[in-house]
Amino acid sequence: MVTLKLVDTDSKDDARPAPADAQAADQPRPDRVPDGINHERDPYAMTALGEVMDHASRAMIARMTGGLSPASLAEAWADWAIHLAASPGKQSQLWIKAWRKALRLQRHAVNCALHGGADEPCIEPLRQDRRFRDPAWQQPPFNLMYQSFLLTQQWWHNATTGVRGVTDQHERAVEFASRQFLDMLSPSNFLLTNPELIAQTRNEGGQNLVRGAQNFREDWERLIGGKRPPGTEDFRVGERVAATPGKVVYRNRLMELIQYEPAGDTVRPEPVLIVPAWIMKYYILDLSPQNSMVKYLTGQGYTVFMISWKNPGPEDRDLGMADYLELGPMRALDAVCAITGSDTTHSVGYCLGGTLLSIAAAAMAREDDERLASVTFFAAQSDFTEAGELMLFINESQISFLEDMMWDQGFLDANQMAGAFQILRSNDLVWSQVLNAYLKGERREMNDLMAWNADSTRMPYRMHSEYLRKLFLDNELAMGKYDVGGRPVSLSDIRAPVFAVGTETDHVAPWRSAYKVHTLTQTDVTFVLTKGGHNAGVVSEPGHPRRHYRVHSTINGDRYWSPEEWFRRADFREGSWWPEWAAWLDGHSGERVAPPPMGRPDAGYDVLGDAPGTYVLEA
């Protein structure tokens, strides 16, 4: 419920003699509004009421569209359609391509008929497309179905790209939307057009569909009841995941600081402070014991501290980026230095936490604060000009639409964020799940990473609005315009050595975007590109099968390599990148000393409870 308070801005105390022309303008005229209406306050009241009505109306629409702005999508489609209509040459090319593809498909069909279905496909799926790998797809009529689908998909890619005059963002948006729509219509998604499903249904007597219906009912009931997916209950926080021993040694309204117990009799003198993203629960870096980065670091002889962010509610709607900076890494750094007695700290930022850490490091460098021994970024961005397909959702129309939705509820709900990330990988995260769970009747076995992914968080209204506008839309941090404490900060001030990690198939922070740390900072940079995506590439512990990475160190002043040149020339190595990072940290650390105490009551840092604390348990 919104309460509107009208304020009379023309107080008698502020009354001043009106200029002569203003007095003349205030003389009665025939077209004046009738007496009885306050000419000063009513325009403000009408404006305020109108804004409330607009917010409420757009918030209602946003709930129905999942937070996507219809105006933004319509603008992109109109830009494409108008320019295509004015491009007869492009239209002619598309007609010719359509005719050629039809002939190729016809020739393929004839050859299959003459040779009993044996013929080379006229188009191959992309390397990452696993939908049509089963040999059953090579038998008629299914071979013609999937070949026709892939040819259609290729034609629409040609139709939505390369139209002269269309803005880059609109082109990407239209191509993305057409691809999503076609993926929904893929023959692999339907029982009667999927030979694998037909064979399974025949062999099982339809029991797969019975199980699928039961799975759908269970998922629907859980969704309506606000419960997490089945199997997540086996991964209780503090028991099976987030179970590395530690203590909460500091708490404020925005975060808890966890100090982990040492694994040996000696530790490096420089502690490690990890700043995770608040778009996720911190324990992705402390999953099961075998793949816990926290446990690995303590085993390497480091005193590890972790920020555990509070899951914000409506009462936190006015928390901004400045609050997250001050109440997060800055307060945590004060506590870490006071507890350990160390003058310097190894800092680590993951995803959005890495962006916040880069702001903190730049602000500290500006003030000659040298408490950072090193800075490590995991899949983090500071320049958002190439932020991947997430940029499809970032423009003035879309951001204002999200702001209206958050204005109504005070935060961006976790499900609303999850929907956007699922759309980016709809084949893997949506349609394959529908196929497996509801048509094949097969549940994918829950693991710790999937359970963590279902334990999502919210984003405060003000913070998320500032994040999208200042960083994504205006790119203020990379431009040297981001304001901290009344003055802008520059990443070029950072002198602490940097270790940055990008992942090969990251849809959230593309590695080429993370690579821009080379051009933004003036310090030594070691960059690692590892196999995997935004999460699985980071949680890549030693012993993880089929892992590799590339690495190269650049000394400040070295010649710049483009991302493509770096990819060709960097050292290729098999296995996990974690030991590479541990060796790098060792090279920037002192000789081992006795472990510090857990907390420090005399400095105001009492032990407040056992890890994982209370904030991570809040739904």
- The answer to whether residue 122 is catalytic is no
Contacting residues for 505 by C-beta, under 8 A, at least 6 apart: 532, 533, 537
Dihedral of CA atoms 544, 548, 549, 550 in degrees, nearest 10, equals: 160
C-alpha 520: how far from chain center: 21
Strand pairing category for 345-350 and 272-275: parallel
Burial class of residue 539 in the structure, from the number of CB atoms within 10 Å of its CB (0-12 exposed, 13-18 middle, 19+ buried): buried
Contact 98, 181 (CB under 8 A): no
Contacts of 111 (CB under 8 A, 6+ apart): 119
> Which amino acid is present at 387?
A
Residue 273 in contact with residue 348, Cβ under 8 Å? yes
Element (H, E) at 572: strand 571-574
**Spatial separation of the C-alpha atoms in residues 610 and 617, rounded to whole Å:** 13
Q: 70: exposed, middle or buried (C-beta count within 10 Å: 0-12, 13-18, 19+)?
A: middle
Which residue among 112, 122, 337, 351 is the active-site one? 351
Contact status, residue 391 vs residue 472, Cβ threshold 8 Å: yes
Count of Cβ atoms closer than 10 Å to residue 559 Cβ: 6
Cα distance between residue 232 and residue 235, in whole Å:
6
Q: Are 309 and 351 in contact (CB under 8 A)?
A: no
- Determine the Cα–Cα distance for residues 440 and 210; give it in Å rounded to an integer: 9
Please name the residues in contact with 8: beta carbons below 8 A apart, sequence gap of 6 or more.
40, 41
* Spatial separation of the C-alpha atoms in residues 214 and 167, rounded to whole Å: 46
Q: Residue 538 in contact with residue 503, Cβ under 8 Å?
A: yes
Say if residues 162 and 90 touch (Cβ distance below 8 Å): yes
Q: How far apart are CA 433 and CA 425, in angstroms?
A: 12
Other beta carbons within 10 Å of 409: 17
Residue 272 DSSP class: E
Angle between the 207-224 and 195-204 helix axes, to the nearest 10 degrees? Answer: 110
The residues assigned a catalytic role are: 351
